[in-house]
A and B are shown apart, each in its own frame.
Chain A
Amino acid sequence: MKRRQFNQALAAGLALAPLGFPGIVRAQSQKLKVGVLLPRSGHLSFIGQSCQKGADLAPGVIKDMLGVDIELMNADFESNVDTARTRAERLIQEGAHVLVGPFESGAAAAIAQVAEQRGVPFMINIAAAPQITEQGYKYVFRNFQTAIDIVRNGLVLMGDLFQATNTVPRTAVFMHVNDTFGQAMAKGIGALFPRQNHLPFKIVDTISYDPTAKDLTVEVSKAKASNPDFVMLVSRLNDAVLLRREMVKQRWNPMGIVSPGSPGMYEEQYFKALGKLSEHSISNVPWYNPNARMTKIVEKAFLKQNPKDKLVFHGLNVGFTFEALLVVADAFKRAKSTDPKVLRDAIAQTNITDKMTLGGPIKFNAKGQVEGIGSACVQNLKGEPTVVLPKEAATAKPVFPVPGYKKA
């Protein structure tokens, strides 16, 4: 209620202003209204709520840093594509100047169409399907790696990992979840892995499994039977937990579990569910730089809003959601206008070097995609996801093979 009344008052004020005081129209009271579309209920709820934390802390931090006012209009699209579309339309109708979200590729595609149609800039925080920025959209921007990039960076980091720990694994089993993300990653691996020659191992078996499976005994047996040195895993959260448990039950201790880029093993639930067993799992994912100036600022704000939580557990979600809002706020500051076309052009000109995630500056190419976003090798150490590579961002040394490795 309060927000609506405020909006109405503001609109009335701005409408009346030209009548009496022409100069005040462009005054400081201009706010950027950002429609935030996230799946806070439905099957993606825990990720949506995690991203929301990144959004909630943004207005305060951005006000301090850039002196710009942004106002969040939060919408829950319930992990449902139809709802994503109608909510996007609703937000635009209620006056959102830009849209930010949605974490899921299907919803991203639907919202992108609405945004393009209505001519409202859409800043994607997280979504990996490459096709979204291949459609020739002018109003859609993404500051996240596509599945192909994730795989490429993930494989490079693997090579770095082996070099840094002086290990030479010869064989690996590739296990992946058979859903949208898993299949996209598997395709990426299928395309990139044979073409590279800096990795010393061969993939001896590929095992895909059902994302809703509650019992992975068979899959783990199969994997163990091919006797690989380590496990290359693309998973979600629940299946990562199941797999790890199953590995223990079947007394299988490979060199380690390394993900070329997938959620699951760095998330808080993984630690909570597995305790000590979560230790040493590795995920090569886009991540924030623990040593960056902005990271520390965001972390402070995060802890203030979520005193019982830790930023590390939401690294990816919060990092990229915050940056999405940073991008739109920065564009707003430069554009000095909330006109969507002007904002869109301003976003296209973005060049932010002072940021919190790893990699090069936030700069969009002609397709609206940021190139050069970095990944980190994140290992679970002492109950927390810890950046161990690249060296400049590392806060600890990688451990590989894991203690307890038994050549089977």
Chain B
Amino acid sequence: MVVAGVLTGLVYGLMALGLSVIFGVVRVVNFAHGEMMTIAMYGATMLFAAWNVDPFLAALPLAAAFFVLGYVLQKGFINPFITRPEHSQFMLLVAVAIIMVNGMLMAFGPDARNVMTDYQLESFELGKVYVDKARFYAASAAVATALALFGFFRFTLTGKAIRACADNYLGAKVVGLNVKHLYALTFGLGSVCVAVAGCAMVVLVDVTPGLGPYYTLLAFVIVIVGGLGSMTGALLGGVLIGVSEALAGLLIVPSAKSMFSFGLLILVLLLRPQGLLGRRPQ
């Protein structure tokens, strides 16, 4: 069961990673994050229904589409809001979220949708422990994407440029970096994470239009606990939340397990706001 917690946690971690990247660089609180993942999930179900595309393969075209979506969203709507107070940013993304949720309701109707792959109900037997295949594949996809992203930021020029922007906005501008473009790029990358996370999540959970807010909140909890601006932090945070919810469910009343996550968030915010692996916010 701890294993299941770890695996699911990794998928949550990927979703949170997208948020961390966006928040860490662009400093915008993306309250439509969960809704974006829900759209990705719907995308995966549509591709599956139409051409029987396995969600993990669907992740590739969806990631590309989401990159564009994220880029456009940032450049078009969010950019003017970077310098605006938080409540304005919040309101903008809340409005976007409302449009997304109800657009999905209109397009897909209220019934839950899902994919039914062969491996979804199978599990590996490792001694006394059952590890279910779907969760394993999902977690693997999450780790793979995270590694790819990590590599991008570490080793490519653009990646380094983005990190420069995050560390020192003014300095980056002085050096001549096209900050607006880089910001949009970052949002695009964050959206890619969301897309892959969505495809991974859809083999575990059925999708309904109202799924967004739950995941947005979860992503924030993970990002704060794991540490802002730290990618490993996001994954670690995801795993931590996944495992702690599993344990909390075991030790106390399962219906109160979310309470534990929020309690953890409160403690982290108070005692170590930079999270486990993050750097102190400026």
Contacts and interface: CB of A to CB of B under 8 A. Distances in A.
B105 A215 contact: no
Interface stretch (B75-83, B179-187, B220-228, B253-261): B253-261
A242 B135 CA distance: 13
A394 B101 CA distance: 41
Given A49-B110, A237-B112, A210 B255 contact: yes
Given A214-B204, A215-B204, A218-B1, A268 B111 contact: yes
Contacts of A242: 205-206
A41 B209 CA distance: 10
B255 A209 contact: yes
A296 interface: no
B88 interface: no
Contact of B111 (A43, A250, A269, A277): A269
Contact of B121 (A178, A222, A238, A245): A245
Interface residues of B, number: 35
Given A214-B204, A218-B246, A248-B121, A178 B112 contact: no
Contacts of B214: 212, 214
A45 B258 CA distance: 25
Contacts of A48: 110
Contact of A221 (B1, B112, B116, B258): B1
Q: Which of B5, B121, B205 has the most CB of A within 10 A?
A: B121
A255 to B, nearest CB: 20
Interface string A166-192: 000000000000100000000000000
A218 B3 CA distance: 11
A113 interface: no
A215 B245 contact: yes
B252 to A, nearest CB: 11
Contact of A238 (B132, B206, B255): B206
Given A210-B254, A210-B255, A249-B121, A269 B249 contact: no
A210 B250 contact: no
Where chain A touches its partner, the secondary structure class is helix
Interface string B252-273: 0111111000000000000000
B112 to A, nearest CB: 5
A212 B218 CA distance: 12
Interface string B97-124: 0000010010001111010100011110
Contacts of A213: 254-255, 257-258
B255 A178 contact: yes
Contacts of A245: 120-121
A215 B244 CA distance: 13
Contact of A218 (B114, B132, B249): B249
Interface residues of A, number: 36
Interface string A39-52: 00111011011000
A208 B208 contact: no
Given A242-B205, A248-B121, A249-B121, A222 B112 contact: no
Given A248-B121, A249-B132, A217 B4 contact: yes
Contacts, number: 92
Nearest to B259: A210
Interface in B122-139: 122-123, 130, 132
Contact of A217 (B1, B111, B255): B1
A208 B254 contact: yes
A221 B130 CA distance: 11
B8 interface: yes
B26 to A, nearest CB: 28
Contacts of B110: 41, 45-46, 48-49
Contacts of A60: none
A215 B206 CA distance: 11
B246 A217 contact: yes
B245 A45 contact: no
Contacts of A178: 255
Interface in B191-243: 204-206, 208-210, 214
Given A208-B254, A215-B204, A41 B102 contact: yes
Contacts of A209: 249, 254-255
Contact of B116 (A43, A207, A238, A275): A275
B205 A219 contact: no
B121 A46 contact: no
A273 interface: yes
A214 B203 CA distance: 12
A241 interface: yes
Contacts of A208: 253-255
Contacts of A382: none
Contacts of B122: 249
B154 to A, nearest CB: 32
Q: Which 8 A-B pairs have the closest CB atoms?
A: A218-B249, A45-B110, A178-B255, A46-B110, A249-B132, A217-B4, A208-B255, A210-B255
30 contacts: A41-B102, A43-B210, A45-B105, A46-B109, A46-B110, A46-B111, A208-B253, A208-B254, A208-B255, A209-B249, A210-B254, A210-B256, A213-B254, A213-B257, A214-B204, A214-B214, A215-B8, A217-B8, A221-B1, A222-B249, A238-B208, A241-B112, A241-B206, A245-B120, A249-B121, A249-B130, A250-B123, A268-B111, A272-B114, A277-B121
Interface of A: 41-43, 45-46, 48-49, 178, 207-210, 212-215, 217-219, 221-222, 237-238, 241-242, 245, 248-251, 268-269, 272-273, 275, 277
